[in-house]
Structure 1
Amino acid sequence: MAQIFISAGHGGYEDGVADPGLVLASTTEAAEMIQVRDLVVAELRSRGLPVLAVPDDLSTAQGIAWINMRCQPQDVALEIHGGAYSDPGVRGSSVFYIAQNEVRRSHAEILLLALRRRVTQLPSRGAKPDTESPTGWLDFTRSLRCPSLLMELGHLTSPQDLAIIQNQRRDVALGLADGLASWSRSVAPVAAAATTTPSASTFPEIRISINGGIYPETGIIVNNNSYVPVDLADLLGVNLTNAPNITRLRYGNVVYIKAVDLRSYNVSVNWNGETRTLLLRSATGMGICPGSMDRLMGLGSSSEVQLIMFLKTVNEAAVTQYQDLAKLYREESAIEGINHDIAFCQMLVETNSLHFGSGLNPAHNNFGGLGSPTGGPEGSSFPTARIGVRAQIQHLKAYGSLEPLIQSQVDPRFQFVRRGVAPLVDQLTGRWNSDPDYGRKILAFMRRLYESAGML
C-alpha cells in the first residue's frame, strides 16, 4: 500500500542549532506545525492509511534523505509551514509544487480544495510553482524521489490565520488528512501502472528542442517530470561538476538529469504538450551575454515596459504608486554602468516587492535598504525617489567596480566599502544583507523577470 510522509517545517537542527522557524510572542512556527502534523498523522492512521512522520530532530537535508531511504514512486510527501509577511493583513494558505509539472499542480489544488472544505474561513492563495518561492527553488519539491509538495498552511503573522490554526486545529488537520488521502489515491494507480510496464518502455520518451532545433537524442518522463541526457548540459554551457543538488538517474545506460533544474543555470525550460516536446533555450540563445546575468557592472536586458509589467505581477498596486520607478532604475543605472535588472530585482528583495516592512518606510525612498552612515537603527532617508535609487546604484558600484562615480555622491555609506570587493550578485550575501540566501533571492527575481519578458 502507498505510504504518506508528512513533515513539520522547522523544529529540527540546522548547523547544530535548534530551528524554531518564525518566532512569535507566544509560539513558534515549529510548535504550531508539529501540533497540526501530529493530529493529521493520528487521523490518517485511524482511517487505516500508512503514514510516517519525519522525525523532528532532523535538519532539512537529513529529513529529505530520511524520506528518500523509505519512499517508493507510489508514495506522497508533504511538508507544512507557516507563512510570514510584513503586512499582517496578508493571509491564506498556498501550496508550492515543482515548476513545469502540471500533474503536481493538480495535486496541490487537491490539497487546497480539501482544506477549504473543512475550514472555509481560511483563504486560498492558490497553487504556485516553486520558482515563485523567495529563492526560486525548494529542496522539498525538487529532491524527493516520490511526488512531494510544500504547503504554507496559513500566515502566522496574520491574527486571523493564527487564530484559525490554534483554535480550529482539529478541522485544519481533517482537511489536510482528506487532501492527503485523495492525493495518495490519485498517485498510487499511476505509479503502480508504470512499475508493471516492461522495462524497455518504463519511462515515456519525449522530444527535445534546443534553441529552436530538435536534439537527436530523446528525453524521458519520470514521476511527471521531464529528464534529459546529462551530456546536453555541456551543449547549453552548464557546468554540473560541482552541483550536488541536481537530481540524476541512470536509465538505459544513460545518465539523465531533471530538466527544470537547468533553470537555475539560466536555461529556459518550457513544454509543448501537443508535440510532447521539451523546449530548452540557453542564455546565449536568448540574447543574454554569457556570464553577464549576475555581474553588477554591465547592461540590463529588460525594457522599461517589461520592468513595469513584471512589477505588476508581484505588486499590482505599486505600478500606480511608483509609476516612474522603472524609468529611474534604467536611467540611474546607465549613468554609472550598473546592470539595471540586478538593481531593480534587489529593490524587490529589500522592499518586499514594495510592500515594505522590516524597518523600511516608503516615505524614506530607501529602495536599497541602505543603512545609516552613523550606524543607527533607522536606516538612511532620501528626499526623492530618484535620489534613493541613485544611492542604491552608487552603493552597487562601490562593491562592483574600482571606477569613480559619474555623479555626485549621495550614497551615505559609499566610503565604507572596499571598492570592487563583490562584483557578482552572490558576493553581496553577507555584505549588503545577512540573509544567507540574499544573492539567490535576487537572482530568483531576475529569472522571473526574464520569464515574464519572454527572455527565459
Structure 2
Amino acid sequence: MGRIFISAAHGGIEAGRTDPGAIAGGTTEAREMILLRDLIVVELRARSFEVLSVPDDLSAAQTIAWINARGRATDVALEIQMNAASNPSVRGASVYYITTNSDRKSNAELVLMGLLRRVTQLPNRGVKPDTESGLGRLIFCRQVAIASLAMEVGFLTNPEDRALLQTRRREFAAGIASGLESWSRVVDPGKAPAPEPTYPAINININGQQYQEQGILINGNAHIPIDLVDRLRIDLSKAPDVRRITYRRVVYVKAIELRDFHISINWDAANRTLNLRSISVICSGQFDKIVGNGNTSEVQLQLFLRNNNENALVQFPDIPKLYREEGSIEGINYDIAFCQMCVETGFLRFGGDIKPQQNNFAGLGTAGGGGDAASFESARIGVRAHIQHLKAYASLEPLVQPVVAPRFRFVTRGVATVIDQLSGRWSADLDYGAKITAMLKRLYESAGLL
C-alpha cells in the first residue's frame, strides 16, 4: 500500500522568521492547518495507512526536498491550506492540481468530494489547475516528485468557514482522510511495483510541426528531452528548481516548466501528443512592458471576464471597450491594465472597502493621502485614471488627455516600465507583479494567443 504525505502550509521559517500564513479572527492559517493536519494523520493511521507528517518548521522549499528525499512511486502528497480574500463573503473549498494533468484532476476531485460529503455546509469552489492560483503556479504541485495536490479547506477571512473548521475539525479531518484513501488506492491498488519504471512515449508538436524525438509520460505529467529545451533557446539556469530525470540515458524535464518561459502547454489525450506553442509578442520580449499595444480584441476580453465572473458585465458592460480605448490613447498596454483590474477587483466582484459605484478599478488612493479610496464619476473616468497612473509609473511622456488620476503628480515618472516593478510600489505585496503576469498568461491562453 502506498504511503501518504501530509503537509500543513505555512508555520515554517521563511526569510528568517516564522510564516503564519493568513491572519484573521484572532488565529493564523498555520495554527489551524497544523491542528487539522494532526487529526488527519490520526484518522488515516486508524485506517491502517502509513502516514508521513512533514515537520512544521520547514520552509516551503525544505518541505518539498523532505518529501522528495523519501517519496516512492506509489505514494501521494497533500498540502492543506486556507485562502484569504479582501471580501469576507468569499468562501468555500477547492483543490489545485498541476495543469494539463488529467489524472491529477481526477485525483483532486476524489479528495475534494471526500471533504464536501462530510461537511455539506462548505461551498464547493471546484478543482482548478494551478495556473488559476494567484501566482499562476504552485510549487507543491510542480516540484514534488510524487503525485501531489494542494487543498484549500476554506477561507480564513470568512467567518462561516472559520467557525465550521474550528467547531467541526474532526469531521473535516475524516472527510479529507476519506478522499486521500480513495486517491491512494487509485495510485497504488496493491499490485507489486515493477522492478524498474517503464514510461510510455508521447508525441511532441511544436507550433504545428511534429518534433522528431518523443517525450515520456511520468506520473501523468508530460516530460520532454533536454535537447528540445535547448532548441527553444530556453535557459533553465534561471530556474534552478526545475528537476531533471534520466531515463534510458536521456535527460528529461517536466514540460509544464516551459510555461514560465512563455510557452503554451496543451495535452491532446486522444492522440497522446504534447502541443507546445509560442507567439511573436511573447518571444519578442515585449510581454511584460507596460508601454505598448494590447493584443486582444474586445470580444476576447469580454469572454475572459464572463468566464471568471458571469455577472461582471452586468454592471460594467463596456469595461473591455473602455480599457482598449483609454489604453490605446495613452500608449499603455491595455491587456496589462485589464489584467491588473482583474487582480485588484477579483474580476469585478470588489469587496473590502472599495464599492462598485466608486468606479475605482485599481485601488487608487486620493490626493490627500488619507485612508479612503478614490471615487470617479463614471466607469470611463475610473479606467482613464487607472491608465494614467500606469503611465506615470511606466513612461516619461506627457498625458494625452487632461489628468484625472488623483495621485499622478506624486509618482516618480518612469520608475516601473515592466510589470514586476509595480511590486512594492503600486501594492506593498512583493508578489503583486507576479500575480498580474499570471493573470496575463491566463488571458492570452483564453484568447488562443498563447
Structure 1 position 265 matched with structure 2 position 264:
no
Amino acid at match of 1:342: I
Instruction: Determine the C-alpha separation between the residues in 2 that align with 1:362 and 1:191.
Output: 57
1:450 has 2:449 as partner: no
Question: What corresponds to 1:228 in structure 2?
Answer: 224
Paired residue type of 1:196: P
Given that residues 88 and 351 in structure 2 are in contact (C-alpha distance below 8 angstroms), is that contact kept between their aligned partners in structure 1?
Answer: no
Unpaired runs of 5+ residues, structure 1, are none
Answering whether residue 324 of structure 2 is matched by residue 330 of structure 1, we say: yes
Could you tell me which residue of structure 2 aligns to residue 243 of structure 1? 239
State the alpha-carbon separation in 1 of the partners of residues 282 and 70 from structure 2.
Answer: 42
For residue 14 of structure 1, what is the aligned residue in structure 2?
14
Listed one character per residue, the Cα deviations across residues 248-288 of structure 1 (whole Å, up to 9, x for unaligned) are: 2222332211111211222111111222111011123xx65
Match for residue 393 of structure 2 among 382, 395, 399: 399
Residues 25 and 157 in structure 2, CA contact (< 8 A), matched pair in contact too: no
Give the structure 2 partner of residue 146 of structure 1.
Answer: 146
Structure 1 residue 125 displacement after superposition: 1.5
- How much does 1:422 deviate? 1.4
Contact 1:288 1:301 in 2 (8 A): no
SS in 2 for 1:357: coil
Trace 1:303-322 onto structure 2 (pairs within 5 A).
Answer: 303-322=297-316
Deviation at 1:192, TM superposition (A): 5.5
Distance in 2, Cα, partners of 1:444 & 1:167: 36
Structure 1 residue 60: deviation in Å? 1.1
Match status 1:278 vs 2:274: yes
Give the drift of 1:163. 2.1
Partner of 1:120: 120
- Cα RMSD of the aligned pairs, angstroms, is 1.7
Aligned-pair CA distance for 1:191: 9.1
Distance (whole Å) between structure 1 residues aligned to residue 191 and residue 36 of structure 2: 28
> Do residues 360 (structure 1) and 359 (structure 2) align?
no
Query: Partners of 1:325 and 1:361 in 2: how far apart?
Result: 16
Q: Give the conservation status (yes or no) of the 8 Å contact 1:78–1:149.
A: yes
User: How high is the sequence identity, in percent, across the aligned residues?
Assistant: 57
- The 1-side partners of 2:156 and 2:145 are apart by 30
Whether the 8 Å CA contact 1:76–1:184 is kept in 2: the answer is yes
Of 410, 413, 429, which residue of structure 2 is paired with 1:416?
A: 410
Alpha-carbon distance in structure 2 between the residues aligned to 1:389 and 1:247: 43
Partner SS, residue 294 of structure 2: coil
- Alpha-carbon separation, structure 2, partners of 1:394 and 1:411: 6
Distance 1:209 1:445 in 2: 25
Give me the TM-score of the superposition, normalised by structure 2: 0.96
Residue 30 of structure 1 aligns to a residue whose secondary structure is helix
Q: Is the 8 A contact 1:135 1:441 kept in 2?
A: yes
Using a 3 Å threshold, how does the CA distance of structure 1 residues 116 and 228 change in structure 2: closer, same or farther?
same
Q: Give the AA of the match of 2:437.
A: L
1:411 to partner: Cα distance: 1.8
| C-alpha separation in 1, matches of 2:314 and 2:231 | 43
CA contact 1:111–1:183 (8 Å) conserved in 2: yes
The answer on 1:290 being equivalent to 2:284 is yes
Q: 1: distance between equivalents of 2:424 and 2:302?
A: 29
Unaligned runs of 5+ in 2: none
Q: CA separation in 2, counterparts of 1:94 and 1:112? A: 7
Comparing 150-159 with 343-352, greater Cα deviation is found at 150-159
- Greater shift in the superposed pair: 289-298 or 335-344: 289-298
Is 2:121 the partner of 1:101?
no
Output the CA distance in 2 between the equivalents of 1:390 and 1:427: 21
In the alignment, which of 330, 333, 345 is matched to residue 351 of structure 1? 345
Q: Map 1:27-38; keep pairs closer than 5 Å.
A: 27-38=27-38
Q: Which shifted more, 254-263 or 219-228? A: 254-263
Q: Whole-Å Cα distance in 2 between the matches of residues 192 and 276 of structure 1? A: 26
State whether structure 2 residue 185 is matched by structure 1 residue 185. yes
TM-score normalised by L of structure 1? 0.95
SS of the residue 1:179 aligns to: helix
CA distance in 1, matches of 2:163, 2:60: 27
Partners of 2:341 and 2:241 in 1: how far apart? 28
Letter in 2 for 1:82: M
After alignment, is 110-119 or 358-367 more displaced? 358-367
Q: CA deviation at 1:226?
A: 0.2
Rounded Cα–Cα distance in structure 1 between residues aligned with 2:328 and 2:274: 37
CA change 1:381–1:123 in 2 (3 A) is closer
Secondary structure of the corresponding residue to residue 241 of structure 1: helix
Q: Any residues of structure 2 matched to 1:34-49 within 5 Å, and which?
A: 34-49=34-49
The answer for the alignment partner of 2:4 in structure 1 is 4
Correspondence 1:60-139 to 2 at 5 A: 60-139=60-139
How far apart, CA to CA, are the structure 1 residues paired with 2:252 and 2:410?
A: 48
Amino acid at match of 1:256: Y
The answer on whether the counterparts of 1:398 and 1:418 sit within 8 Å (CA) in structure 2 is yes
Tell me by how many angstroms 1:117 deviates: 2.3
- Deviation of the 1:358 alpha carbon: 3.6
Query: Secondary structure at 1:67's aligned position in 2?
Result: helix
Residues 74, 192 of structure 1: 8 Å contact kept:
no
Distance 2:117 2:373 in 1: 45
Residue type of the partner of 2:205?
S
Counting matched residue pairs gives 450
> How far does residue 237 in structure 1 lie from its aligned partner after superposition?
4.2
Is contact 2:92-2:124 (8 Å) kept? yes
Distance in 2 between the 1:325 and 1:43 partners?
50
Deviates more, 1:52-61 or 1:204-213: 52-61
Structure 2 vs 1, CA of residues 87 and 101 (structure 1 numbering), >3 Å: closer, same or farther?
same
Cα distance change, pair 367–25 in 1 and its aligned pair in 2 (3 A): same
Distance in 1 between residues matched to 2:327 and 2:191, nearest whole Å: 52
Distance 1:419 1:92 in 2: 42
**What residue is the counterpart of 1:204 in the other structure?**
200
1:12 and 1:379 mapped to 2: Cα distance? 35
Q: CA deviation at 1:230?
A: 2.1
